[in-house]
Amino acid sequence: MNSTTTFPYQVPFIDHCRTIQNLSEYSIGMIISDVGNFWKYYSIKFPSNPNIKNVASSDVRDYLIQLDQKEHLSKKTINKYLSYLKKYFIFLAENHLIESYPLFTLKGISFKRKETIIINWMPYISNFLNTSIHPETIKLLIVISLGYDLNQLLNIRWLDVSDKLNDINLKKFLFDNLTFDKTPNPYIFQGKRIDKYTSIDRITSKTKMDQHLIDFPINPRKLRQSYILSIISNQTLSDEQLLDQLHISQKSLGYYKFCANYFNLIPYKK
């Protein structure tokens, strides 16, 4: 078995499989291969900051879908690979290497139904201004619609976005919901005691309270995904134009083009 580390905590996980699970070297080799392949896939999906603590069940499901659609593996084999990944994430959770086990809701997958993704919601953000939706949710919709990725969210300031907003109502909303008493260029996601939020979880805790008011998923990761698929679904754009607009790698573009063909994309209707 190749000793090269290909995924986080590989060495202690192998030791766990040998000494605690008493698995054969063949079984360990299969598990290590699959977990390594998943981590390679995840690192391509989030090239700028692949963090094992951020892996969600949807990421694992997307990986399994690729095994089905691109590699044409049998359902039995795919579900066996899922069992390997569950062993790995149980190990991480039990040893407090991640905050919680992410795969509770992920069962054996039949792949009979394609996930529906709502796209092209960006022109309709102003429709939500006169509702009881929290300001942080509107802020998130705005910055995602301007093309910012998740690694940029916490560092975006007023002057970064003010000239990019063509909708005067959104610009006024953003201005009215920022505090300029300490700086003329505040962060979009301001903290009360510090200059800015230090975790995307702070944003998510606000937006999830508004999910029942909006007809598409509004957690940061899902919003970013639907934004990218909205752009990629525009068949008039060349690969070069897509790369320039989305600021993603060629490998990531290939992944999202696959998603655009696999998922059921439905334009948002107000």
Can you give 63-98 as a three-state secondary structure string?
HHHHHHHCCCCCHHHHHHHHHHHHHHHHHHHHCCCC
Sign, CA torsion 35/20/99/107 = positive
d(CA 19, CA 144) in angstroms, rounded, equals 46
CA nearest 98: which of 53, 39, 35?
53
What's the confidence (pLDDT) of residue 3? 47
> What are residue 264's phi and psi, to 5 degrees?
-90, 105
What 3-state DSSP class applies to 29?
helix
Taking the CB of residue 264, how many other CB atoms lie within 10 A of it? Answer: 10
d(CA 30, CA 49) in angstroms, rounded, equals 26
d(CA 33, CA 27) in angstroms, rounded, equals 10
CA nearest 196: which of 205, 208, 187, 184?
187
d(CA 197, CA 191) in angstroms, rounded, equals 5
pTM (predicted TM-score)? 0.63
H-type alpha helices, 95-134: none
What's the confidence (pLDDT) of residue 114? 66
d(CA 185, CA 181) in angstroms, rounded, equals 10
H-type alpha helices, the chain: 10-19, 25-45, 57-69, 75-94, 135-145, 158-161, 168-176, 200-207, 220-232, 239-246, 250-262
d(CA 68, CA 62) in angstroms, rounded, equals 10
Give the contacts of 241 (CB within 8 A, at least 6 positions apart): none
Amino acid identity, position 144: I
| pLDDT tens, residue order, the chain (270 aa) | 444 668 999 999 999 999 999 999 999 999 999 999 999 999 998 888 889 999 988 899 889 888 887 787 888 888 899 999 999 999 999 999 998 898 887 776 555 556 789 999 999 999 999 788 999 999 999 999 999 999 999 999 999 999 999 999 999 999 999 999 889 999 999 877 778 888 898 899 889 999 999 989 999 999 999 999 999 999 899 999 999 999 998 888 988 988 888 888 999 987
d(CA 232, CA 246) in angstroms, rounded, equals 9
